[in-house]
Structure 1
Amino acid sequence: MELQYGICRVAVAQLRAEPSDRAEISTQLLFGDHVQIIEKTEKWWKIISAYDGYEGWMDFKQLANVTADVWDKLNDYKHLAPASLNNTVIGPDGSAYYLSPGSNLPLYRDGYCYIGDEKFKVEFNPAIIYPITEKNLITTATFFQNVPYLWGGRNLFGIDCSGFMQIVFKLHGIKLKRDAWQQAEQGSIVDFLQEVQPGDVAFFDNDEGRITHVGMMLNTTEIIHASGKVRIDKMDNQGIYNADLGRYTHKLRIIKRFA
């Protein structure tokens, strides 16, 4: 198959493990995410996300075609939907799209962005990568507080633990991979909990030793993470302590620093 490229033309698109509406949601594309198309069926296209290399199947109607030249330009994204509730763009037909934080505004200029051949009016001030400071990281992460947990989610109406970290750090210009175990292979090690700085990222494993959870440290004793919802819990050398449940829920494996 000749190389073909696309870009997400809806606010949120499900990326599924199999070409079926009943298949597991493995992750999501946000508005402006661009992809390589590697296989096609009548309804479903298998794609690779340019941002994190994730593969999956999606409804082809949620993509617009782009040329290879445009696809290359999209790799150099600069303008994003900020951590805000008012991220509205207006499509060519006058209808509104409500974007989640971290969505791309492809080829943005003079108040407009472009999805394939369509022009969208941007009704907000784009973010151009937030400066990396401890205060800014905390502000971005806590903006998502109380967003419900959703396996594979990357948006304000449902997010999983690694999707949460990926979007927070994307807004600060740091590209994380999609899954917690992949993210754990990035960054530099923080040897001791007492050396933690706000914005450091903690990883947790299960009984088999597999890394299955991730969250961001707010300080040496508190973590924000997606578990049931995006929440703040106590943290020590043993792991995350959930006061609502009265027990530890996640066992600490390693802490990494990305900023």
Structure 2
Amino acid sequence: MNQQFGVCNLCLIPLRAEPSDRSEMSSQLLFGDHFTILESADKWLRILTAHDEYEGWIDRKQFEEIEHAAFVALHDLNTILGLSITHSVTKTSSNEKLSLIAGSNIPNTLDGFFYLRDTKYRLEGEAVTPAKDKFRTGVPSVALFYLNAPYLWGGKSVFGIDCSGLTQMVFRQFGIKLKRDAYQQAEQGELVGFLQECIAGDLAFFDNEEGRIVHVGIMLDNERIIHASGRVRIDAIDNQGIYATELKRYTHKLRIIKRL
């Protein structure tokens, strides 16, 4: 059987843990996210995402099949949508509009138009090319774009986001690839030995009573962290962990700090 590939052609779709509408949403795919199809079951497809190698199930009505050459082209793509709540895109053949979100992958545009497989789209505004050299100075403002976004398990947008989704989407704006879950992200980068050495963009990881890493946030400096807990918020942090001023108590126990 020949390998099959696909791409998300909708604004945002759920990636589920099991092939059921009742299954938990473990992550989301944004427009332009591409993947390898691993298995087919009734109305569901088990896929492996290209950008973070994450497995899950999607509804087979929520994607478009692509050839291997298009898969490779999307994999090499480095243009995304920047920091606006929504971006308007129109299918030129039907004049149907889509509202896309920050971080969506956009094939190279020409005079405001781009193609996803055979479908031609018109983009209102411009896509951006992520720049890693702007990460340290730019990461605070990008992280603040998501401030007060509600917490949503598996979410990756301002309309709902989880802790590792926040870090992944912020880093995405600079072309830096993070894995999907907090414990996976903790395996990336270099260890920062002391909290006092932290700089903007370092990732702080927190564990539970069993020692499992279950939370992550982005350091704004060596005293403040932005993270998704109830909502995307800024809290104080010290060697013990995150101190939530509103609750007047520590909420997360610090395990390690990493720098990418």
Pick the TM interval, shorter chain.
Answer: over 0.9
Per-residue Cα deviation, 1:155-189 (whole angstroms, up to 9, x for no partner): 12111000110111111011110000010000011
How far residue 38 of structure 1 moved from its aligned partner, in angstroms, is 1.2
Q: Is the 8 Å Cα contact of residues 113 and 120 (structure 1) preserved in structure 2?
A: yes
**Corresponding position of 1:64:** 64
The structural deviation recorded for 1:86 is 4.2
Structure 2 counterpart of 1:53? 53
In the alignment, the residues of structure 1 paired with residue 108 and residue 8 of structure 2 have an alpha-carbon distance, to the nearest angstrom, of 14
Deviation string for 1:47-92 (max 9, x for gaps)?
A: 1100111111111111111101111111111110101124111123
**Structure 1 residue runs of 4 or more that deviate by more than 4 Å after TM superposition:** none
Aligned to 2:25: 25
Q: Does the 8 Å contact 1:7/1:116 carry over to 2?
A: no
Aligned residues: CA RMSD: 1.2
Structure 1 residues 124-133 or 55-64, which shifts more? 124-133
Within a 5 Å distance, the mapping from 1:236-255 to structure 2 comes to 236-255=238-257
Alignment of 1:157-176 (within 5 A): 157-176=159-178
Is 1:117 aligned to 2:100, yes or no? no
State the distance in 2 between where 1:107 and 1:36 align.
22
Q: Secondary structure at the match of 1:208?
A: coil
Which of residues 150, 153, 156 is equivalent to 1:154? 156
Give me the whole-angstrom Cα distance separating, in 1, the residues matched to 2:177 and 2:103.
12
Cα separation, 2, equivalents of 1:116 and 1:38: 21
Q: Using the alignment, how far apart are the partners of 2:70 and 2:10 within structure 1?
A: 18
Aligned to 1:97: 98
Structure-2 separation of matches of 1:219 and 1:183 = 19
Where does residue 219 of structure 1 map in the other structure? 221
2:142 paired residue number: 140
Choose from 230, 233, 236 the match for 2:235: 233
The answer to whether the 8 A contact 1:137-1:168 is kept is yes
Contact preservation (8 Å) 2:5, 2:66:
yes
Distance 1:109 1:40 in 2: 36
Cα distance in 1 for residues equivalent to 2:69 and 2:109: 16
Indicate if the aligned counterparts of 2:86 and 2:102 stay in contact, CA closer than 8 A. no
Question: TM-score, normalised on structure 1?
Answer: 0.96
Distance 2:39 2:107 in 1: 24
Local SS of the residue matching 1:56 = strand
Structure 1: distance between partners of 2:107 and 2:58 = 20
Structure 2 CA distance for aligned equivalents of residues 238 and 194 of structure 1: 13
Aligned to 2:10: 10
CA contact (8 A) 1:74 1:107 kept: no
Aligned residues: 258
Counterpart of 1:175 in structure 2: which amino acid? K
SS at match of 1:132: helix
Is this contact kept in 1: 2:135–2:174, CA < 8 A? no
- 1:43 Cα shift? 1.1
Give the 3-state SS of the residue equivalent to 2:164 in structure 1. helix
Aligned to 1:185: 187
Is the partner of 1:215 in helix, strand or coil? strand
Q: CA deviation at 1:256?
A: 0.6
1:77 aligns with 2:77: yes
**SS of 1:37's equivalent?**
strand
The offset of 1:98, in angstroms, is 1.4
Moved more, 243-252 or 37-46: 37-46
The separation in 1 between residues aligned to 2:162 and 2:117, in whole angstroms, is 29
